[in-house]
Amino acid sequence: MNTWSELTEIQPMATQILTNSIEKGRISHAYLLQGERGTGKEQIALVMAKSLFCENRQGAEPCNTCTNCKRITSGNHPDVHWIEPEGLSISKEQVQHLQKEFSYSGMESNQKVYVVKHADRMTVNAANSLLKFLEEPSKQTTAMMLTENSGAILATIRSRCQVIDLKPLNPIQFRKQLVTEGMREQDATLMSALTNNLDDAFQVVQDEWFVEARKLVLQLIEMLTTNQENVYLYLHSKWLAHFKERDDHDRGLDILLLALRDVLYYHIGNEDAMTVFKPADALLEKSSMKFSQHHLSKLLDYVIQAKRKLSQNVQPTLVMEQLVLKMKR
């Protein structure tokens, strides 16, 4: 999405606020965009930067063809800086490097923009360094901070930003969009439950890693249904060999949540809402006979707890070991 017109379709309120600010020349020195993954935070930041630098802007709309627009699209504009976590967090050194860069005069103008992705992952020292930066803003410096977890942002930082809430995307509308773009209906149903990003959805569904991940999730449910005594062995021989990085585990748990939810849907006769299982899957019937609705609610809660531990930097192998031990009780 390269224009405000396109962004209006998914985030009309946020788009209206920002375009009005641009057209009236009342740009805030800092914005905090908060919303779930896939709600358009990065696209909004990108279009905002283009609007501020575009040589041929019409109203708030960037042209996307001038030199500045093209360089911002490619990530090569000297006065537009992106910061994102190196590893698990954004360090104080990254913020200090940004401050050093901004102490220099602009390469072509005094306008500067910086975008902080996953702003909630700043260390305490990094957040305090950024706070000092925000307390003495330059009139021609604009900060765009992006987060899925606004509760982890320092209140003092939030108070210095114009907070813009992004609404969750409609999964039904997104599924229809995926099908229109050529994705199979069943794949589109699953992707619309996992992401709200079109490019991400097509990349994931074509990835052999993801295809195997889905198979392993179903195998885990089969082990829990028919062969619980060997589930711990399965975890170490199969699951951990495929899910290696923290993000891999998180994506696997997302699929597991959806699969268990499918079994719950099967219980209540809402098969049209299923995402991972096919309605005629024999494992679906076996699992529904093994797990009551009450038991499924417990299993879902265990998986949610595991995802929370992953986000808190608990070692992934330990998280998964604890999860399967709880699930086999």
Tens of pLDDT, residue by residue over 142-178, are: 999 999 888 889 999 999 999 999 987 778 878 888 8
> Can you point out the beta strands (E) in the chain?
30-34, 80-83, 112-116, 141-147, 162-165
Is residue 308 over pLDDT 60? yes
Per-residue pLDDT, 272: 80
pLDDT tens string 192-219: 888 877 778 898 988 999 999 999 999 9
pLDDT at 107: 58
Q: pLDDT tens, 5-64?
A: 989 988 999 999 999 999 999 999 999 999 987 788 999 999 999 999 999 999 999 999
HSE toward the beta carbon, residue 129, CA cutoff 13 A: 17
Cα three-residue angle 318-322-323, rounded to 5 degrees = 115
Mean pLDDT of 131-148: 84
Question: Can you give the pLDDT at residue 271?
Answer: 82
Beta bridge partners of 82: 115
The pLDDT value recorded for residue 172 is 82
Predicted local confidence at residue 108, as pLDDT? 63
Angle, in degrees to the nearest 10, between helices 171-180 and 198-205: 60
Residue 221 pLDDT: 95
Question: Which stretch of 32-36, 104-108, 111-115, 312-316 has the lowest confidence by average pLDDT?
Answer: 104-108
First to last CA, the chain: 47
What is the Cα–Cα distance from 296 to 324, expressed in whole angstroms?
Answer: 14
| Residue-level pLDDT at 105 | 62
Q: Is the pLDDT of residue 316 over 80?
A: yes
Q: What is the pLDDT of residue 214?
A: 93
Asked which of 91-95, 166-170, 244-248, 250-254 is least confident by mean pLDDT, the reply is 166-170
Give the pLDDT band (50/70/90) at residue 88: confident
pLDDT value at residue 144: 95
Return the structure tokens found at 25.
């020349």
The class (CATH top level) of 207-327 is: mainly alpha
Considering the segment(s) 4-165 as one domain, its CATH architecture is 3-Layer(aba) Sandwich (3.40)
* Average pLDDT over all residues of the chain: 90
User: Which tokens go with 223?
Assistant: 């082990």
Q: Contact at 8 Å (CB) between 1 and 29? A: no
pTM across the whole model? 0.64
Domain residues of the chain, as ranges? 4-165, 207-327
* Amino acid, single-letter form, for residue 81: H
What's residue 292's pLDDT?
93
Backbone Cα Rg of the chain: 23
Distance of CA 75 to the CA centre of its chain: 20
